[in-house]
């Protein structure tokens, strides 16, 4: 989608530190890391938020989570947190579905 930051990263129009890529999914380092490991895992298909996931396209959500879990394993993370922010009130700033993979430090609960 035009004017979508993450679609531009997928098309290599904006540089990113890519960690993993396959046909359906791209993973790259977050530019403002909130943990020693902070990787964003996104579908290559433009889906704006978790709200846009339906039965018709839900397989991609599984692909994103499976990729995040594989990356966490490859990074030797003992534990990790996966976060999907949905809408501004929950902290979503980029409206292309993304899974935050956070690890490498103790995580607090509840989150802020």
Residues that bind ligand 5GP (CB under 6 A): 5, 14, 16, 28-32, 40, 85, 91-94
In angstroms, give the least distance from the CB of 112 to Zn ion. 27
Tell which one of 96, 97, 100, 102 touches Zn ion (CB under 5 A): 96
| Residue 7 interacting with Zn ion (CB under 5 A) | yes
Residue 8 binds what, of ligand 5GP, Zn ion, none (CB under 5 to 8 Å, by partner type)? none
Q: Structure tokens of 61?
A: 């959500």
Is residue 98 annotated as a catalytic residue, yes or no? yes
Q: Catalytic one among 12, 38, 46, 98?
A: 98
DSSP string, the chain: -TT-HHHHHHTTSS---EEEE-SSEEEEE-SS-SSSEEEEEEESS---SGGG--TTTTHHHHHHHHHHHHHHHHTT-SSEEEE---SGGGT--S-S--EEEEESSPPPSS--
Length of the chain counted residue by residue: 112
Binds Zn ion (CB under 5 A): choice among 38, 46, 69, 104: 46
Q: Which does 94 bind (CB under 5 to 8 A by kind): Zn ion, ligand 5GP, none?
A: ligand 5GP
Which are the catalytic amino acids?
Answer: 98
């Amino acid at each position: 989608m035009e004017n979508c930051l993450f679609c531009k990263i997928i098309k290599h129009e904006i540089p990113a530190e890519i960690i993993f890529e396959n046909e359906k999914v791209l993973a790259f380092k977050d530019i403002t890391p909130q943990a020693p490991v902070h990787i964003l895992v996104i579908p290559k298909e433009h889906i704006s938020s978790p709200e846009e996931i339906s039965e018709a396209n839900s397989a991609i959500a599984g692909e994103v989570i499976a990729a995040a879990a594989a990356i966490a394993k490859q990074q030797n993370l003992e534990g990790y947190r996966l976060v999907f922010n949905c809408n501004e009130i929950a902290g979503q700033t980029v409206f292309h579905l993304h899974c935050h993979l956070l690890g490498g430090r103790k995580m607090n609960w509840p989150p802020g």
